[in-house]
Amino acid sequence: MNIQSTLSGTFIKTIAISIVFIVSFLWGWFVPAHVVLAEKMPNPGLHHSISSQFQEVQHYFNQGLLLIYGLNGEAAMETFQAAIAVDPNCVLCYWGIAYALGGFKGTNLEPHRKQLVATALQQAIAHQSYASPAEQAWIQAFYDSFQGVTSVVTAMEKIVSQYPNDPDAATLLAMILMDQVKWQLWTVKGELTTIGHRILVILEGVLGKYPNHPGALHFYIHGVEPQHPEWGIPAADRLRALSLNVAHLVHMPAHIYLRVGRYADALSVNQRAMAIAAQSASHYPSTSLFSYAYLPHNYHFQWHLAMVTGQKKLAKETAQQMADLVDRQLVRQPGYGTLQHFLALPLYTKVQFGQWDEILTQSPPPIDLIYWRGVWHYARGSANLSLGKGEAAFQEWHQLCHLIHHPDLNPITMWGVNSASDLLKVAAAVLRAKIAVQYHDWHRASLMFREAIDREDALKYDDPPAWTTPVRQLMKEAYDSP
C-alpha cells in the first residue's frame, strides 16, 4: 500500500542509536600493524561505489555501511578501521567512522566522542583530493552539519537533491529523521505524523527503485509495524531472502511476522539472528552496547514469542538467559535501569505459567533494584491469590503500591519508551482487580480491570510489548476461573 495516500496508525519506537564503543582507536590516522582486521562478510548485501583501487576496501566499506543500517556501530567502526588499514586514503571510510560514532547527532554527543568525530572528519577533509565529487559532497555536508553551519537534515537533503539516484543518501536521510523524532512516526491516536509521512515516502521511493535495499527495508519495517504491519510483509520477506550476516537485519522480519501472526517464521528468523550474534558475543564486554542491548533484544523477542505461543520450556529458558546476560554493576548505573526489566522476565514467565511455588520460594531482589522488586511483589501477589491466600495477596499489593510511589523508580524507563512506573501501575491494577474477583467484589473488579486496560492502552508502542500478557486476556481468565 502506498503511504502517500494514507495517514493513519501509531508508532513510537526508540532504541536511541547511542553508539557505545569498546575499541581503542589511535587517532594518528594510521592503523597500527597489530590491529586485528574486521572479519569479512561473504555477502555485504549492498554496493556503494567508493574511490579506492583496492577491492578489499570496497568490500569493507559496503560491509561497514550495512552494519550502520543494522545499528551495530561498534562493528561498523571496526570495519571502517580495517578499510583504512589497507587504504589510508579512503575518504568515505573516515566518514563511516564519524557516522558510526554518532556524528550525525552533532551537539548531542558526549565530549570525548565529539572529539573523535571531529578528528575523523578532519582526516576526511585532508584526504579529499582522493575523493570523487560525490564523496566530497558527502564529506563537506557532514562536516558543515557537525560544525553547526547547517543542520544534519539540511545537509543530507542537499546530498539527496544533488544525487537523487543514490539510495544510500536517501536511506540515511530517513534514518536521521527517524532518530531526530526518536522513532515516533505515529501519534497516540494512531495517525501518521507529518514527518512520519515524509519518512515513509522517502523509504518507499528508495524501495521503488531498489526493492532489496537492506537499510530501506529495515527502516520501512520499523515505520509500518505498529499500525499497518501488513504493509511490511513484502519488505520482511525480501529482507529475509537476502540472507545477510548482520544479526539485527536478520531479526527484523520477525517484527512483522509477530504482528501478523506468522509466529513460526518469526521464531525461525529470530533464532538465526541469535546464532549470528552469538558468534560475536565473546568479542564485546558486558558493558558494550552490543552486549546490553543488541544481543538481548533477540532473546527478548524469542521470550515473547514463546510466551504468546504457550511454549513454557522455551520461555523459561530464554527468560533466564536474558537475566544472566545482565551485568549486575551496569544495571545500577544511571540510565541503565532498563536492564531491570530483563532481570524481571523470569518472574513474569512464572506468573504466566502458574508456577506459584517457585515464585513464593524465590528470594527477594535487592531493594535498590526497585522495578525488579516491584515485579517480585506482583508475582507473589498473583501466587498467593491463586493459592487462595487473599490476605497475603492484598499485602503484596500494598507493598507494590508503595514502591510505585518511590522516587527512585521515576528515572527508570524501558529504553526511553515506557516508564517502569507505568508498567508497575498496570501490574498493580491487574492484581487488585483479581483480588476483587476472588472476593466477589464485582464493582471493584470492573473498575480496576478498566483502569488496567486503560493504562495498558496508554503504553507507547514497543516490540516486544512492554506488558506481555494482554490485560483483556487476564480479565477473561479471572472471570472464567471457578
Best CA proximity match to 304, nearest among 82, 448, 121, 469: 469
Reported as a single tens digit per residue, the pLDDT across 451-467 is: 999 999 999 989 899 99
The residue with cell 520477506 is: 237
The pairs formed by 58-64 with CB atoms below 8 angstroms and a separation of 24 or more are: 60/86, 60/93, 61/90, 61/92, 61/93, 61/96, 63/38, 64/93, 64/96, 64/100
C-alpha cell at 109: 554527543
Taking CA atoms, 36 is separated from 56, 59, 277, in Å, by 15, 17, 19
Q: Do 48 and 62 contact (CB within 8 A), yes or no?
A: yes
CATH, domain range 326-480? 1.25.40
> What three-state secondary structure class fits 300?
helix
Q: Say what the pLDDT of residue 36 is.
A: 40
**Rounded to an integer, what distance in angstroms lies between the CA atom of residue 397 and that of residue 389?**
13
Q: Say what the pLDDT of residue 113 is.
A: 84
Q: Say what the pLDDT of residue 286 is.
A: 64
| Burial track 204-222 (b if 16+ CB lie within 10 A, e otherwise) | bbbbeebeebbbbbbbbbb
C-alpha cell at 387: 493459592
Residue type for position 54 = F
Q: Do 366 and 373 contact (CB within 8 A), yes or no?
A: yes
**Rounded to an integer, what distance in angstroms lies between the CA atom of residue 360 and that of residue 375?**
13
Question: Which residues contact residue 191 at a Cβ distance below 8 angstroms, ignoring those fewer than 6 apart?
Answer: 7, 8, 9, 10
Q: Do 416 and 179 contact (CB within 8 A), yes or no?
A: no
The answer as to CATH 1.25.40 being correct for domain 7-249 is yes
Q: Say what the pLDDT of residue 440 is.
A: 96
Q: Do 242 and 261 contact (CB within 8 A), yes or no?
A: no
What is the enclosing helix (H) or strand (E) of 432?
helix 420-438
**Rounded to an integer, what distance in angstroms lies between the CA atom of residue 386 and that of residue 417?**
32
Helix pair 214-224, 194-209: axis angle to 10 deg = 140
Low-confidence ranges of the chain (pLDDT < 50): 1-37
Residue type for position 80 = F
Q: Say what the pLDDT of residue 287 is.
A: 65
**Rounded to an integer, what distance in angstroms lies between the CA atom of residue 254 and that of residue 341?**
21
Rg (CA), the chain: 24
Q: Say what the pLDDT of residue 342 is.
A: 96
Question: Phi and psi at residue 252, in whole multiples of 5°?
Answer: -55, -35
**Rounded to an integer, what distance in angstroms lies between the CA atom of residue 147 and that of residue 128?**
18
Q: Say what the pLDDT of residue 8 is.
A: 37
Taking CA atoms, 304 is separated from 255, 266, 352, in Å, by 11, 11, 11
**Rounded to an integer, what distance in angstroms lies between the CA atom of residue 158 and that of residue 133?**
14
Which residue ranges does the chain devote to CATH 1.25.40?
7-249, 326-480
Q: Say what the pLDDT of residue 478 is.
A: 92
